A and B are shown apart, each in its own frame.
Chain A
Amino acid sequence: MILTNTTNYFGDLVSFLAEKMGIGGQILAYVIVAAVYLGFFAIAGLLLVYIERRVAAFFQLRLGPNRVGPHGIFQTIADALKLLSKEIFGTNRKDNLLYTTAYYLVIIAALVSLSVIPFSIGVQAYDLNIGVFFISAVSSVGVLGILFGGWGSNNKYSLIGGMRSGLQMISYELSSGLAILTIILLAGTLQMSGIIEAQRDTWFILKGHIPAWIAFFIFVIAGTAESNRTPFDLPEGEAELGAGYHSEYSGMGFAYFFLAEFINMFIIAAVGVTLFFGGWLAPFGITDTLPWQPLWGAVWFFLKVAVFIFFMMWFRWTFPRLRIDQLLTLEWKYLLPIGLLNIVLMAVIVYYNVLISF
């Protein structure tokens, strides 16, 4: 099932400008789309850092940043300006090529993953027919950036951090891939918009009942691990490694790693919402008859993503960091076998059509 005749506002813009101004218009349209995504990237990153700090503060009965602007919402902008004005200061005998490409790789992987995420009806840069697969493939490129950063810094702590990150991401990619596959069995397509359309009557988390819930838990655990967040933040374990793979970066280099981490969290949340909670679909279709459908879609999408992200923050400020052997035990002895069994269970359930739907 490949949907071809759905609206796509970015695609419409490109073809409209290409018709009006030829090849120049096409390039202009691409630049506009890229600028929209970069703007979203920056704003979402800064906002998420702010929200993380506020939420962390409330978990610890503190107030958090509340001085710059109303309720401190401009705090992270001030921080970014501070980082921009800082000197770029690296180690002496670093591997210059790897050191400087590292953060671009991380950023590019995060940005490219964003391009296939459906924010609302037709608000998706590129509706690839292998969308989910594309996201998990591209997010592995981000690991490469972290490995480059760890290797290029010529620092043993950075190297250990980068290696741990590679180990962790490759392990957990497997589990999240299996969790995604479980849902693909239900959806019958890899295309993001197709997955959402297949949930129009019932969200997959309800439709697939028990295996869907198991897959959801596996996805949340593996997603948290992939975005290098506590309790899986071994790559930057402060107590052991300083700051891990980004300890030798300063100024914007550090900020890029930091932003990419938060955007990765957003991507995990967006994919989770798309796969399990119907993406931009309203619950029970309560806003389906209202005008401004794309707007409502975005509202529901971001609401669901916000809840998802809040839970990831809740994990972060509750659970202690795992030891490296515990991390591997969790993946190879628990998540992976359970995920494999779960796929079989889901296949059986889909084959005999024991699904819940309204």
Chain B
Amino acid sequence: MSYIGDVIGGIKTLLTGMKVTGGYFFPSIINKKYIITRQYPDEPAIVMDRFKGEVVMWHNENNEHRCTGCQACEIACPNGSIEIIWDRVLNEETGKKVKVIDQHIYHLGMCTMCNLCIQACPTNAIMWSTNFHNSTYDRSQLTKVLNKPGSKLMAGVEE
């Protein structure tokens, strides 16, 4: 008897499988909303918030950033993607010399998106951007200066 039972059981499982795939096919052929393909250049891509596209530096509306030039990120980076050019200038109020960044140089072409620099930064000056349109015709264009020209340190970060 198990022979006939096998045949019937086999047909039943096959029909179950076909019901599942049919449940994908027929809705998706009637209504495009079930299709998960994004036709990217024509339709905007859906990018997750956690997507690690490139490292950027946060600036507020007065063109101030939070980077103190401590170089922790430069040390943390395992492949030397970050170089910081800094200087010491005299603070008029306190009369002390303080470290300021001139250029926070970031080599996107070398970066492995490992997140170590962002974790190392004591002042949360740098963060991830979800931008992924990074292709260029020349490698040198991937070397970026993260602090905007003319920007300065936000007051109160160093305390």
Tell me the A residues contacting B by CB distance below 8 Å: 55, 57-63, 314-315, 317-319, 334, 338
Chain A residue with the shortest CB-CB distance to B38: A63
Expressed in whole angstroms, the minimum distance between the Cβ of B123 and any Cβ of chain A is 45
A314 near B22 with CB under 8 A, answer yes
Contact between chains at B20 and A318 (CB < 8 Å): yes
Asked whether, in the complex, the Cβ of A319 is within 8 Å of the Cβ of B14, the reply is: yes
Kindly supply a per-residue 1/0 record for chain B positions 11-37, scoring 1 wherever the CB is within 8 Å of any chain A CB and 0 otherwise: 000100110111011001100001111
Question: Does A318 contact B37, Cβ atoms closer than 8 Å?
Answer: no
A-chain residues with CB within 8 Å of residue B25 when the two chains form the complex: 55, 58-59, 314
B94 contacts the other chain (Cβ, under 8 Å)? no
CB of B67, distance to nearest CB on chain A (Å): 44
Return the chain B residue nearest A57 by Cβ.
B37
In the complex, how many residues of chain B place their beta carbon closer than 8 angstroms to a beta carbon of chain A? 17
What's the minimum C-beta distance from A41 to chain B, rounded to whole angstroms? 28
Contact A58 B29 (CB under 8 A): yes
Q: Is B18 in contact with A63, judged by CB distance below 8 angstroms? A: no
Closest 10 CB pairs of A and B: A318-B21, A63-B37, A318-B17, A62-B37, A61-B36, A59-B25, A58-B28, A58-B29, A58-B25, A318-B18
Q: Is the CB of B24 within 8 A of A61?
A: yes
Choice from A55, A63, A334, A338 contacting B35 with Cβ under 8 Å: A63
Distance, CA A11 to CA B21, complexed state (A)? 45
Cβ of B140 < 8 Å from any Cβ of A?
A: no
Asked whether A59 lies within 8 Å of B21 as measured between CB atoms, the reply is yes
Nearest opposing residue in chain A for B32, CB measure: A63
Minimum C-beta distance from B142 to chain A (A): 30
Q: Which of B33-49 contact A (CB under 8 A)?
A: 34-37, 39
Closest residue of B by beta carbon distance from A55: B25
The contact sample of 13 A-B pairs, CB cut-off 8 A, is A58-B25, A58-B29, A59-B21, A61-B28, A61-B34, A61-B35, A61-B37, A63-B35, A63-B37, A314-B18, A314-B21, A318-B20, A334-B7
Q: Which residues of A contact B34 (CB under 8 A)?
A: 61
Contact B18 A62 (CB under 8 A): no
Distance in angstroms from B32 CB to nearest chain A CB is 9
Q: With a CB–CB cut-off of 8 A, which chain A residues contact B17?
A: 318-319
Contact indicator A59/B14 (Cβ below 8 Å): no
**12 additional contacts (CB under 8 A) given A58-B35, A61-B37, A338-B7:** A55-B25, A58-B28, A59-B25, A60-B24, A63-B35, A63-B37, A314-B21, A314-B22, A318-B20, A318-B21, A319-B14, A319-B17
